[in-house]
Structure 1
């Protein structure tokens, strides 16, 4: 693995974080609508845009898509998109952005630990300093944010929000590992096309929640509320789903799974940044410390992979 490959992978990881950080802000912008409605709206838009973009190449891709590939697309779409975002939007609306980004911040630890068990992966002992700094950064965010989160939400809602965030964590960890392994075995399908195919399947799956979400669960809304809702869904679909997922799949092909786990830290950083802008304030000392620690964690992870590369590891 060359230094240029690592740097390109990190760049795509950072772009992914910038795009995916927006998903934490969307539930705050659409509090008049339920998480089910937000997930349905976002992924209907994602599926529509993906269908338009993949249409010219779909005929050429179909011969390379067997039953196993379609089954993988279905479960990856469910875990990484529909189920994950329902959990995440519920967590944000009931527990707040800070608490949710904190819990999701454990994604790099979970993915990296799972990835370290793979053949040829960097041993977990060499990743320990990087993981320790990442956990220290998350601890800083926890110390800073949990008190405010508890003060802004009812106790029962806070607990439910926390478990929803845990559900999102488990769902997306499973997706990240499975998606990375599928990308490694695909040769005739590009990372971008795989992302668009995932979007197409996600859009079809979202129809199953869109029908009850916009009929049984629908309450009267004003024209301005619907305009805002549609704008947010379309924006998140384009930037977070299409652009963000394409960058993530590119990074997944350039970097090993243990390092991909570290790249998810960028999502936490950007989610916090967007939260500060939304609240119109500067980060506190603890929040600044968390950002420094998280960045140092990524750099140590890069260093660990370079050492293994120089020693002929992989």
Structure 2
């Protein structure tokens, strides 16, 4: 039964990664819009969709939460959504898809290292093989992206590092909160996060309008609205719900490894966007990253047995 739950959690995290990988394409699909406009638009749409879905059970949920939980939702929404996506959109526009994908690909390492300090977590020495495989895969991606032309600016790299730090904080904090909550499901917690994120995104509306450096026609605004709404539904509503299910089912050290699928899918979408096959180094990187996840899953399965 434990093994079945583990594999269900792994499957949920893989699908979440497939949805999240689409986030890296959004800045490329909307090159005439500023990153802060993308963040505000995406999370306003997320907030609206989440509010509609949570409305029938709002009164019941609100009665189960104290100010402590609401404060956590405010913090998680700000770090894991608003700040993360502002940094990421800037990184993609300044450095392309490959460089921020590489940096975000370090999430399995950062989250797993932080999670290894949790009670009942698998000993870090048991995770050395999977971490080594993941690191080797990331070195391959780094060598490929940094050896080619146009690998991005220092500002883009710093933005990518900012997104890495903010999402590491979110992933660890969110997983720990889900472990504490008893009266709220993972999907309900995701919807509540969406509502709070939508409220926070309202505060971005003014600076987003000030940041606008170009005027757009009606058709461009409709196109922009379609892109951010699609990202909100697939990446935020569905992706976050699946991720919360995985976070509640899997130990944090294994959840950290699952984030690698966001990098893999982001790379795949990047190849499709650029209409090319992966290079030998990129192919080796994907094999190594997958091997690292399989190794980590095997270590947890043996530990459960």
Q: What range is the shorter-chain TM-score in? A: over 0.9
Q: After superposition, where does 1:243-262 map in structure 2 within 5 Å?
A: 243-262=238-257
> 1:58 maps to what in 2?
58
Shift of the 2–227 alpha-carbon distance from structure 1 to 2, 3 Å rule, reads same
> 2:8 maps to what in 1?
8
Distance 1:68 1:229 in 2: 36
Secondary structure of 1:128's partner?
A: helix
Moved over 4 A (4+): none
Q: After superposition, where does 1:183-262 map in structure 2 within 5 Å?
A: 183-215=178-210, 217=212, 219-262=214-257
Distance 2:122 2:182 in 1: 24
1:98 and 1:146 in contact (8 A); partners too? no
TM-aligned CA deviation for residue 146 of structure 1: 1.7
Secondary structure of 2:63's partner?
A: helix
Aligned residues: 305
* Residues 87-129 of structure 1, C-alpha deviations (whole Å, 9 max, x = no match): 0000000011000000000000000001111111100000000
TM-aligned CA deviation for residue 218 of structure 1: 5.4
> 1:280 maps to what in 2?
275
> 1:40 maps to what in 2?
40
Residue ranges of structure 1 left out of the alignment (5+ in a row): none
1:19 and 1:240 in contact (8 A); partners too? yes
TM-score by length of 1: 0.95
1:269 and 1:291 in contact (8 A); partners too? yes
TM-aligned CA deviation for residue 180 of structure 1: 0.2
> 1:91 maps to what in 2?
91
> 1:71 maps to what in 2?
71
Secondary structure of 1:112's partner?
A: helix
The alignment's C-alpha RMSD in Å is 1.1
| 1:27 and 2:30 matched | no
Paired residue for 1:152, among 147, 150, 153?
A: 150
Distance 1:291 1:130 in 2: 14
| 1:135 and 2:138 matched | no
TM-aligned CA deviation for residue 210 of structure 1: 1.1
TM-score by length of 2: 0.98
TM-aligned CA deviation for residue 63 of structure 1: 1.2
TM-aligned CA deviation for residue 216 of structure 1: 5.5
1:50 and 1:242 in contact (8 A); partners too? yes
TM-aligned CA deviation for residue 37 of structure 1: 0.3
TM-aligned CA deviation for residue 31 of structure 1: 1.1
Distance 1:37 1:146 in 2: 29
2:32 and 2:214 in contact (8 A); partners too? no
| 1:268 and 2:260 matched | no
| 1:302 and 2:300 matched | no
